[in-house]
Structure 1
Amino acid sequence: MAVAHISLLPLTLTAALLVVAPAVQSQTQPNIRPKIQKTQTPQGVEVQLSSAQTALVFEPNRGQASSNYQWIGRGAGFRLGITSDGATLEFGEHTAAKSSKPLFPNASQLSKVQTKQKSAQSTLVKLHLTGSDGWKPMGTKPTGGVSNYFIGKMPAGWHTDIPHYEQVKVPSVYKGVDLIFHGDESELEYDFVLAPGADPRQIQLQFEGAASLEVDKANGDLMLATPNKIQLRHAQPKIYQEVDGKKVPVKGGFRILKGDTAGFTVEKYDPKKPLVIDPTISFVTFLGGSDTDTASAVAVDGLGDTYVTGQTYSGNFNVVGGIIQGSRSGDSDAFVTKLGTHGNILFSTYLGGGDNDAGNGIAVDASGVYIGGQTHSDDFPLSQPLQFAKKGDATVFVTKLSPSGNRLVYSTYLGGSNGENGGAIAIDASQSAYVAGFTTSTDFPVVNGYEYYPGGAVSGFVAKLSPNGASLMYSTYLGGSDVDSISAIAVDSSLSAYVTGESVSHDFPYAGYQSTMFGGSPSAFLTKLSPAGDSLIYSTSLSLETTIGTGVSVDPAGDVYVAGTFCSPCQESAADFAFVAKASPQGKLTYLRYLSGSDGSSDGQAIATDADGDTWVAGNTSSTTFPGAPPITPNPTAGFLVKLDKDGNGPLYTVFLGAQISGVAVVKPAERLGGIITYPTIYTAGTRFTGGKSASNEDAFVVRLDETPVIENAP
C-alpha cells in the first residue's frame, strides 16, 4: 500500500499555499503503509481543507480595473482598490453557478445549464485618512506570478503580464507615517509604520459608507456596519516596537473621533524608536455568500506544474463605482491558473465577455494550454477563430493559450443556433484538440462526421480541431432519438478518441461488445471513434443498471477506464454509487467496480491512469462508511480519492479531501538510472465551502498527493 503525502493548494486565483512533504526514494522494495501529514488511521486518511490560508496579492492597475484605482487586491469575498486619496473595499453576494458535471441529460436539467445568473450586488466602503492625500502607492515583495485578462472581443482591452506583489506601500500618508497593505484570503491588514518622533494622533480613519461605527467594549474591536447590515470587524490593533529584534507590545486601541471616523490611543512607548500599528479586517460576518470560484478540471505537465480551469466571480463585479468594471456586464469569467511545484502561482488568466463564462476542461502540452468551456457572451475574446460569432444563447468555446498564459494562440466559438454545453478536452501529439459535450442545435457544424444530423432533442458531439485551431478536421453528432450527452474525452497514440457520458436513447449507436443498452436509462456508454472520426471502432453500454459516465482515460496498451455514477434510480432521494469500469482494446468489459459505503450516496467525477494501469478515481460521498477510509461525521460532504490496481483490486488507499472534487491528474517520473523506484504525484481539483450562511461562498482548490514509501522497521 502506497503512502499519500498531502499538500494543500487552495486557490483564490491570485495565490496558493503548499506544504510539501519530501519524497522518500528507496532502492529496495519496502513494506509500505498509508501515512499522512495530518491525520492517520489504519483505514485511511482525512484532510481538512478549511485550515489552509491563502496570501492576498496585489496588482498594479494597467487597465483591468476602473481607471481611478492605481492598485487592486483580491481576497475570498472582497476586493481592495487603492487610489490617490484612499482605499475602497468592495464585497457582495450573488447567485453562484454550479458545476456542469455530470452534463445534464434531460430538458428540465438542460435549462439549468443555460440559465443566466443573476447580477451581482456589491457593497462599497471607502477608507479615507483625514488630512492625507496625494498617495503614491508602490508594490513591494513581488511574488513572481502574473495575471492576464482576455475580457471582451477587442484586443485593445486585453491586459497581460500584470505582476503580483505581496504588499502595497504608501509612503508618508502623514508626517513620518507610512501605510502598508497586506493580508491573506480572509483578512486584510493595513499597517501604520511610524518613524521615531511621529505622532500617532495624526491618524484619522474615515469610513465613507458606514452606517455605524463603534468600539466593542468586550474586546476592543472596531465594528463597522453598512446600510445593508453587512458587518466588518477590525480586530483590536496590534501595536508594537522592534527592540533587539523582538516585537515588544505597546498598549493601545481604537477610539471613535466622530460618527464615521476613528483613531488610535497609544499608551507609553519609546518615541525614539519606530512604532507599528496593525489593524486587521476580518471578513467573517457576511449575511450571505460572497465570491465564488469553482474548479472544474486539472491537468499537469511533465515538470509537475499544475493547471486548473473553472469559473470565477472574483473581481468582476460591475456596479457604479466598483473596483472592477467597464463595458461588460457578466458576473463570471472562465479562469486558468498555473501553479508551480511549490504551490506558487505562475499565472492566472481570465477569459470572458459581457455575460457568464466557465471553463470545463483543460489539457496541456509544451506548446500551450487548451481550455474548453461554455460561454453566454457575444463578445468572448477570439483569435484566429474557426467560428466568428455565437449563434445560440450559450455555446462552447475552445481556447489555446501560450505556455506563459499571456497570449491567445487561438480562441473560437463552436456551436449552432440553439445551444451547447461541454468543453471536455483532450490533445494528441500533433497539437490537435478534441472537444466534446452536448448540443441542442440542429445546425451544429459537422465536418467529415459519423453522424451529420441529430436524432433527438439533445445529442452528444465530438470535434477535432486542426493544430492552429482555424479549421475542423472532423466534427460529428453522437446520439440516438432521445437525449444523449458526452461528459469526458480521451485520445490514444493512434489518434482515436474515446468518449463517455449518458444516453437515454434506446437507439444510441452501440457497436461491438455490447450492441444494445443494458437496461438502465440513462446508461453510461463508452465509444471509440476512428482516427478520422467518421466511424465507430466500438461503442458499448457499461452497466445493467442506470448509470452516468463522467470521466475517461486510456493507457498505452489501449485499455480504457471509465468513472461515473450508478443510480438506483437517478433521483435525489435515492442512494447512488460511484463506479469504475475497465474495457479492453476491443471494447470488452474487463471489470466493473462499485464504490460506496453502507449509508449515503457517492458519485464518481474523474479518473486518471498511469502507464502501468494503476487507476485513481475522484468523486464525492455522503457515506460515513466509505471503503478504505476512516469514519467521518454524519451527513458529510467529502471528496474522495481512491487508488485501484490494473485489475481493479483495492482500494489500495482512500483519502478524504474535505470538499467536492471534480478533476484528477497523475504524473509519474520516468524510471531513474540505477533502478531507483519512482512514485507518482496525484493532483485533484474542486470546490470547498469557505463559510457564511450561503453555500455560494466557495473557493477553488487543488490538492497535491505525493506517493512515497515508508520503510517499516523490523520488530
Structure 2
Amino acid sequence: MASDHEQQQGSPEEKRAGEQAQKNDAQIKHEVMQKYGKIPLTFVPNQGQLKAEYSLYATGSGFRFAFLKEKVILTFYKRSKQEQPEEAKADEQGIKTAEQLERSALGRRKKEASLTKTEGINLILRFVDAATVEPRGQKEAGGKVNYFRGRKKENWVRGLPMYKEVVYEGLWPGVDATFHGRKGQLKYDFTVQADAEIDKIRLFYGGADKISLNDEGKLEIHTPYGIIYEEKPVSYQMCEGEQKEVATRFCLYDDQTIGFALEEEADSSLPLTIDPALHYLSLVTEID
C-alpha cells in the first residue's frame, strides 16, 4: 500500500508524465511564438467591410489592430464553441428537397455562430491632446484583398491594396507617427522634426489595468491575460549619413499615460526618431 507521502506526491510515473506535459506545453508555446514571429504584418484600407470609423486595419490569428483618426485599437481574442444544449440539437432526418437542405445548412451556420464564445481584450492607444489626423497607408506590400459577404454583389469589395506602414502626419506640431511590422510584432516610430517638442507626445492606454516601468526601463502594460512589454525606446538622429543614438526613456504621467524624455542632449537642428517596440506574443499565446 502506498504511503500518505507517496499518495500526496504521486508515483514516479505520474511525476514524469507531468514533467513531460510541461515540456510539451513549453514546446507548443515556443512553436507558436516562432510562427507569429514569421508572419508579416500588412495593413488594409477599410472600404465598408468594417466599422466606418476604421481607416485601416491589420488582422491575424488572435488579434486585430484598427487605426482610427484619434486612436489605435489593439484587440487580442480567442473564440471557442459552447456546448449545445441537448434539447436544442436538431434532428435532420426526413429532409428531402434542395430548398430544405439549404434552409437547414443556413440554420446550422446561424446556430454555430450563436454558440461561439469570444473572449479577449481591447487596448486603446489614444493620442492625447493631438490633432485629428486621417491615417493613411504607404509602401504597398503587393497582392490584393477581396471581401465577399452576403449574396449582393454591390456589397462585395475587391482589389484592396495591402500596405507595409500606417502613417499619421502632424499628430502634434512637427511630430509624425508611423506604425509597421517587424518580425511579426507591431512597431510604432515617432519622427520629431527639428525644434519640435518631444514632451508634446503623450499616449493613453485605455483598457489596461495599469502601466509601469521595470528596472530595465521597459514599459509594462498590465492586462487580465498578462503583460505586454514595450522595449525601452531607442532614439537616433542621422548626422552626415551616420546614425547617432540619443538616449531616451519613457515617462509615466499617470497609471495609463506615457510620454518620452531625452536622457542626453540632442542636436535641435536635426530630426529625431523615437523607436519603441510592442511585445505581445506571450499575451496572444496566453489567450489562445
Question: TM-score, length-normalised on structure 1?
Answer: 0.30
* Secondary structure class of the residue paired with 2:199: helix
Query: Separation in 2 of the partners of 1:693 and 1:67?
Result: 31
Residue type of the partner of 1:78? F
1:284 CA drift (Å): 2.4
* Secondary structure class of the residue paired with 1:57: coil
Query: Separation in 1 of the partners of 2:137 and 2:169?
Result: 11
Cα deviation digits, residues 512-560 of structure 1 (max 9, x gap): xxxxxxxxxxxxxxxxxxxxxxxxxxxxxxxxxxxxxxxxxxxxxxxxx
Residue type of the partner of 2:47? R
- Cα distance change on mapping 1:203 and 1:693 into 2, 3 Å: closer
Aligned residue runs from structure 1 range 491-506, under 5 A: none
Q: Is residue 221–residue 235 contact of structure 1 (8 Å, CA) maintained in 2?
A: yes
* Secondary structure class of the residue paired with 2:154: helix
Give the structure 1 partner of residue 271 of structure 2: 274
Gap regions ≥5 residues in structure 1: 1-47, 97-113, 291-691, 698-715
* Secondary structure class of the residue paired with 1:201: helix
Give the structure 1 partner of residue 214 of structure 2: 216
1:53 CA drift (Å): 1.7
Residue type of the partner of 1:59? V
Matched, 1:253 2:249: yes
1:90 CA drift (Å): 0.9
Matched, 1:92 2:68: no
Query: Separation in 2 of the partners of 1:56 and 1:94?
Result: 21
Of 116, 119, 138, 1:118 maps to: 116
Of 215, 229, 232, 2:228 maps to: 232
Residue type of the partner of 1:88? I
> What stretches of structure 1 move > 6 A for 4+ residues in a row?
none
Q: Is residue 133–residue 168 contact of structure 2 (8 Å, CA) maintained in 1?
A: yes
Matched, 1:59 2:44: yes
Q: Is residue 131–residue 170 contact of structure 2 (8 Å, CA) maintained in 1?
A: no
1:241 CA drift (Å): 1.0
Residue type of the partner of 1:243? C
Query: Separation in 2 of the partners of 1:56 and 1:155?
Result: 29
1:191 CA drift (Å): 0.6
Aligned residue runs from structure 1 range 538-553, under 5 A: none
Q: Is residue 78–residue 91 contact of structure 1 (8 Å, CA) maintained in 2?
A: yes
Cα deviation digits, residues 433-488 of structure 1 (max 9, x gap): xxxxxxxxxxxxxxxxxxxxxxxxxxxxxxxxxxxxxxxxxxxxxxxxxxxxxxxx
* Secondary structure class of the residue paired with 1:285: helix
- Cα distance change on mapping 1:186 and 1:270 into 2, 3 Å: same
* Secondary structure class of the residue paired with 1:196: coil
- Cα distance change on mapping 1:282 and 1:76 into 2, 3 Å: farther
Query: Separation in 2 of the partners of 1:260 and 1:200?
Result: 19
1:179 CA drift (Å): 0.6
1:163 CA drift (Å): 0.4
Q: Is residue 75–residue 186 contact of structure 1 (8 Å, CA) maintained in 2?
A: no
Aligned residue runs from structure 1 range 129-528, under 5 A: 129-184=127-182, 186-217=184-215, 219-226=216-223, 228-267=224-263, 268-286=265-283, 290=284
Give the structure 2 partner of residue 321 of structure 1: none
Q: Is residue 235–residue 275 contact of structure 2 (8 Å, CA) maintained in 1?
A: yes
Q: Is residue 77–residue 283 contact of structure 1 (8 Å, CA) maintained in 2?
A: no
Q: Is residue 170–residue 179 contact of structure 1 (8 Å, CA) maintained in 2?
A: yes
* Secondary structure class of the residue paired with 1:95: strand
1:76 CA drift (Å): 4.7
Residue type of the partner of 2:248? G
Query: Separation in 2 of the partners of 1:243 and 1:71?
Result: 34
Cα deviation digits, residues 105-125 of structure 1 (max 9, x gap): xxxxxxxxx994622223111
* Secondary structure class of the residue paired with 2:195: coil
1:158 CA drift (Å): 1.7
* Secondary structure class of the residue paired with 1:193: strand
Q: Is residue 76–residue 186 contact of structure 1 (8 Å, CA) maintained in 2?
A: no
Query: Separation in 2 of the partners of 1:75 and 1:237?
Result: 25
* Secondary structure class of the residue paired with 2:49: coil
Give the structure 2 partner of residue 666 of structure 1: none
Aligned residue runs from structure 1 range 563-712, under 5 A: 692-693=285-286, 697=288
1:203 CA drift (Å): 0.4
Cα deviation digits, residues 223-269 of structure 1 (max 9, x gap): 1123x344211111111111232322111111101121011111211
1:129 CA drift (Å): 1.4
Cα deviation digits, residues 403-439 of structure 1 (max 9, x gap): xxxxxxxxxxxxxxxxxxxxxxxxxxxxxxxxxxxxx
Gap regions ≥5 residues in structure 2: 1-30, 82-108
- Cα distance change on mapping 1:76 and 1:276 into 2, 3 Å: farther
Q: Is residue 55–residue 68 contact of structure 2 (8 Å, CA) maintained in 1?
A: yes
Query: Separation in 2 of the partners of 1:230 and 1:189?
Result: 19
Give the structure 2 partner of residue 74 of structure 1: 59
* Secondary structure class of the residue paired with 1:181: strand
Q: Is residue 226–residue 286 contact of structure 2 (8 Å, CA) maintained in 1?
A: no
Query: Separation in 1 of the partners of 2:227 and 2:77?
Result: 12
Q: Which has the larger radius of gyration?
A: 1
Q: Is residue 231–residue 276 contact of structure 2 (8 Å, CA) maintained in 1?
A: yes
Query: Separation in 2 of the partners of 1:76 and 1:56?
Result: 12
- Cα distance change on mapping 1:76 and 1:247 into 2, 3 Å: farther
1:155 CA drift (Å): 2.5
* Secondary structure class of the residue paired with 1:94: strand
* Secondary structure class of the residue paired with 1:250: strand
Query: Separation in 2 of the partners of 1:248 and 1:77?
Result: 37
Q: Is residue 150–residue 158 contact of structure 1 (8 Å, CA) maintained in 2?
A: yes
Q: Is residue 186–residue 282 contact of structure 1 (8 Å, CA) maintained in 2?
A: no
Cα deviation digits, residues 630-658 of structure 1 (max 9, x gap): xxxxxxxxxxxxxxxxxxxxxxxxxxxxx
* Secondary structure class of the residue paired with 2:124: strand
Query: Separation in 2 of the partners of 1:95 and 1:207?
Result: 27
Q: Is residue 77–residue 186 contact of structure 1 (8 Å, CA) maintained in 2?
A: no
Q: Is residue 76–residue 185 contact of structure 1 (8 Å, CA) maintained in 2?
A: no
Cα deviation digits, residues 635-683 of structure 1 (max 9, x gap): xxxxxxxxxxxxxxxxxxxxxxxxxxxxxxxxxxxxxxxxxxxxxxxxx
Give the structure 1 partner of residue 68 of structure 2: 83
* Secondary structure class of the residue paired with 2:282: coil
Percent identical among aligned pairs is 27
